[in-house]
Every structure is written in C-alpha cells, then in structure tokens.
C-alpha cells in the first residue's frame, strides 16, 4: 500500500475527449450553421468562444510519434 503505479496516458489523438472538448465540438457545429447567423449566435459570446477554440486547435503543435507518456498516480 502507498506505492505509486505508472500508467500510460494517451494524448493528442486519444479516443477519449474531455467534457469541454465535447461541448466545444457541439458548439462549433451550432455556431457554424445558417441559423446561428440569423439568431445572432455566431457573433455572440458562444461564437467568439468557438472561434478562439478553433484558433487554439490550429496553433497546437503536432504530437510526438509515440503519442503516449507515463505519469505516476498515487
């Protein structure tokens, strides 16, 4: 008891997404629709937020070839 175990973590292309990533994906679909333009969603806070998310994703560095790292969890 009390030992730390190393466990592999996937990143940059992992199949699991955080709740924020899931919401960002859904919000970007909504704000890019023709209805978003009519209702004003595209130019509101949600539209600006999804634009920022898209910009951050495009500026993210490419992942290493291995795609895994290990962290200790206690």
pLDDT by 10s per residue, the chain, length 74: 555 555 555 555 557 889 988 999 999 999 989 988 888 888 999 999 999 999 998 987 765 554 444 445 55
Q: How high is the pLDDT of residue 66? A: 46
For residues 28 and 46, what is the distance between their CA atoms, to the nearest angstrom? 9
Query: Which structure tokens are listed for 1?
Result: 């008891």
Question: Residue 72 forms beta bridges with which residues?
Answer: 6
For residues 54 and 43, what is the distance between their CA atoms, to the nearest angstrom? 15
Q: How high is the pLDDT of residue 41? A: 86
Determine if the pTM surpasses 0.85.
no
Q: How high is the pLDDT of residue 23? A: 92
Radius of gyration of the chain (CA): 18
């Amino acid at each position: 008891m009390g030992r730390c175990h190393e466990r592999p973590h996937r990143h940059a292309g992992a199949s699991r997404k955080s709740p924020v990533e899931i919401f960002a994906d859904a919000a970007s679909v909504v704000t890019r629709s023709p209805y978003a333009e009519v209702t004003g969603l595209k130019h509101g806070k949600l539209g600006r937020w999804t634009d920022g998310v898209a910009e951050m994703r495009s500026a993210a560095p490419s992942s290493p070839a291995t795609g895994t790292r290990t962290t200790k969890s206690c």
